[in-house]
Chain A
Amino acid sequence: MSPIMELERQLFGLGSFSRRMAHFFPEIMEHPGVLDAPAAPGWVRVNVRDAGANVVVVAEVPGLTEKDVTISFDKNVLTLSGERASTVPEGYTAVRRERPARTFRRAVRFGVPINVDAITAVVKNGLLTVTLPKAARAVPRSIPVQTVSN
């Protein structure tokens, strides 16, 4: 494990967790599912959940709007990328800066077929939510069993 990956793991204790979770959902996420680690600690972090008909990916993108993020889906890999500038407001001097300019790129691999044309994304409260509908044949369904009375 690289020193940066190790630092990330120590800071957030998440790498092993997400890999462990991916192990239990091999049909959704090929190991390790989320293909990479954030380039900088906490920037940006992603969650993935399986909501039955959709897979939902949520990423923390404080300060970004729809036009600041680029979303692509190719060969079953969802890629989120973008950047946030950091400029000192005119007439001010910086006293403390913990939010430097940053770029990000995260990738999530899917093991289920996705209806690519129906992918939607919204940004709200600093969270980017990408909803990826599964292709119809991949949506789990229950088949009702009818009781036949003679």
Chain B
Amino acid sequence: MNTAPSTRPERAVLAPRVDIYESETDVLVTADLPGVPEDGVRLHVERDELLLEATTHLGDSPSDTVAQEFANVDYRRVFLLPKGIDADGITARLEHGVLRLRLPKAASAVPRRIEVRGA
């Protein structure tokens, strides 16, 4: 096990703020991740849990800081996937510091309207 001390300053771990929307066919999750570059997001599905992890890259050098209200953080949040989500079909897009996840419902979970035809 590597026990070499890290030179990286300790980061706070925060839960990002999210909106969750649902339709008959999918679930949308929108998360605020300011300061996170495209390669800074990791998504992991295990059983019925979706793990979202992200890392900011502010690039500030602390020595020249005049005023500081935010620092580099690690974002982390676990979502319980509702039944009937097609985990293989989950897509993610990071745009302007906002992550948009689309979780499609499996075909069997999508309610279908069966048309009744007259004879």
Contacts and interface: CB of A to CB of B under 8 A. Distances in A.
B80 interface: no
Nearest to A97: B19
A97 B32 CA distance: 12
Given A93-B21, A127-B34, A61 B97 contact: yes
Band of interface residues on B = 20 to 34
Interface residues of A, number: 46
Interface string A111-141: 0000000000001011100000000000000
B73 to A, nearest CB: 11
Interface string B64-97: 1111111000000000000000000000000011
A50 interface: yes
B97 A47 contact: no
B66 A48 contact: yes
Contacts of A63: 32, 96-98
Interface of B: 17-23, 27-28, 30, 32-37, 57-58, 60-61, 64-70, 96-98
13 contacts: A14-B68, A33-B67, A45-B69, A45-B70, A47-B60, A50-B64, A55-B66, A62-B96, A63-B97, A96-B19, A98-B19, A126-B35, A127-B97
